[in-house]
Amino acid sequence: MQKKGLLLISGLDSILAGKLLAEGGVLLEIVYFHIPFCTCLNKDSECKMKLKLEQITAEVFGSLLHVIGVGEEYLPVLKYPEYGYGKNMNPCIDCKIFMFKKAKEYMQEFDTSYLITGEVLGERPMSQNRKALDLIEEKAELSGLVLRPLSAKLMPLTYPEKEGWVERDKLLDIQGRSRKVQLNLAKEYNIRDYPAPAGGCLLTDPGFSRRLKDLMKYKPDFSLRDISLLKLGRHFRISDSLKLIVGRNEDENNKLEKLFNPDSDALLMPVNTPGPSVLAIGKGFEDNMLRLSGIAASYCKLNGMAEVEIEFIFKSGKSILKTKSRDRNVFENLKI
């Protein structure tokens, strides 16, 4: 009897893994777990990755994509990874264990009997070597139930292969970091406009990781709101308890204003000239108003003015401070 598999989709490898099985008549339910570290947001704050995967799922598989948001429950994985971080702040092994456990929760809901991934043996040194792959399955209590079609012939038989739900002869033996075979398969299947092969996780980005390390050092109890703020603007560390974020464009300015919390923040706005929205987060901004207004003023369009008026909006009211224009390089040492 044919059994459905649950395909975890995220990029080209997993799309190809699913297509390979679908061509052989395997029934699929397709899931995308959306974590708060996607690299691309459009102006409407809609995840481009999600939109692209929804489109590809419809075009390639003729089915709907199950998009499952993962929020606060993911933060402990980031804060306390049992198996450490990769090159930057990516806890890849712990992340995979979390995702597999999450997928296991949905296997029964979607009437599926095993898990399918696009993992390729040896493609990623930290999380896709044999030892790591076995460890992840074991920790997720899915040993023998994870099928990796692109590298299946290099691995022991899985339960769906033993039961005849999937024909092993139709699976592949790809390994290593080269993506030549995958790119050729994409052409063969006429799969286009897929997510970039390098992936879309901000935790692998050096700049974002630097900001995240700063956040974890000075605010270890951070929330999803703090993560959202890491994606916006220019960041300045004023003190152990105070940080400043300067919007870089109208879209970021609007987002900073929406994320403004008067109970814990101060919002800085230029009064008499075009300039950025600026968010001061933490304690002690009253003692640093001159410095904060100076940073805000350095990103304003001065049009020959020697002074800029910066309005401070906070819980107890408003205040306007006149500040002289400053060269932004003066504050370069405060940048995160």
Tens-place pLDDT, residues 173-231:
999 999 999 999 999 999 988 886 555 789 999 999 999 999 999 999 999 999 999 99
| End position of a domain, from candidates 202, 221, 240 | 202
Asked if 249 and 149 sit in the same domain, the reply is: no
Domain count for the chain: 2
Q: Do 5 and 112 touch, CB atoms closer than 8 A?
A: yes
Three-state helix/strand/coil letters over 137-151: HHHCCCCCCEECCCC
Asked if 181 and 266 sit in the same domain, the reply is: no
Distance between CA 78 and CA 90 in Å, rounded? 8
In a domain, 185, yes or no: yes
Asked if 187 and 83 sit in the same domain, the reply is: yes
Asked if 39 and 187 sit in the same domain, the reply is: yes
Q: Dihedral (C-alpha) 319, 322, 324, 325: value to the nearest 10 degrees?
A: 60
In a domain, 214, yes or no: no
Joined together, the tokens standing for residue 309 give 């008026």
Q: Coil, helix or strand for 201?
A: strand
Return the minimum-mean-pLDDT range out of 53-62, 126-135, 319-328: 319-328
- Of 29, 90, 21, the closest CA to residue 57 belongs to 29
- Of 299, 268, 300, the closest CA to residue 281 belongs to 268
Q: Is the pLDDT of residue 66 over 60?
A: yes
Q: Coil, helix or strand for 287?
A: helix
Asked if 236 and 198 sit in the same domain, the reply is: no
Asked if 11 and 119 sit in the same domain, the reply is: yes
- Of 275, 313, 281, the closest CA to residue 296 belongs to 275
Distance between CA 78 and CA 211 in Å, rounded? 14
In a domain, 256, yes or no: yes
In a domain, 59, yes or no: yes
Asked if 136 and 250 sit in the same domain, the reply is: no
> Over the chain, what is the mean pLDDT?
93
Task: Quote the pLDDT of residue 296.
Answer: 96
Give the Å distances, CA to CA, from 202 to 154, 311, 326: 31, 33, 32
CATH code, domain with 163: 3.40.50.620
Q: Which helix (H) or strand (E) holds 195?
A: none
| End position of a domain, from candidates 180, 202, 224 | 202
Q: What is the pLDDT of residues 118-148, one digit of tens each?
A: 999 999 888 999 999 999 999 999 999 999 9
Q: Dihedral (C-alpha) 282, 285, 287, 290: value to the nearest 10 degrees?
A: 140
pTM of structure? 0.90
Q: Is the pLDDT of residue 13 over 60?
A: yes
Residue 157: CB atoms within 10 A of its CB come to 11
Task: Quote the pLDDT of residue 39.
Answer: 67
In a domain, 215, yes or no: no
Which positions ≥6 away from 135 have C-beta within 8 Å? 83, 93
Per-residue pLDDT, averaged over 159-179, amounts to 95
Q: What is the DSSP letter of 335?
A: B
Domain residues for the domain of 259 are 232-334
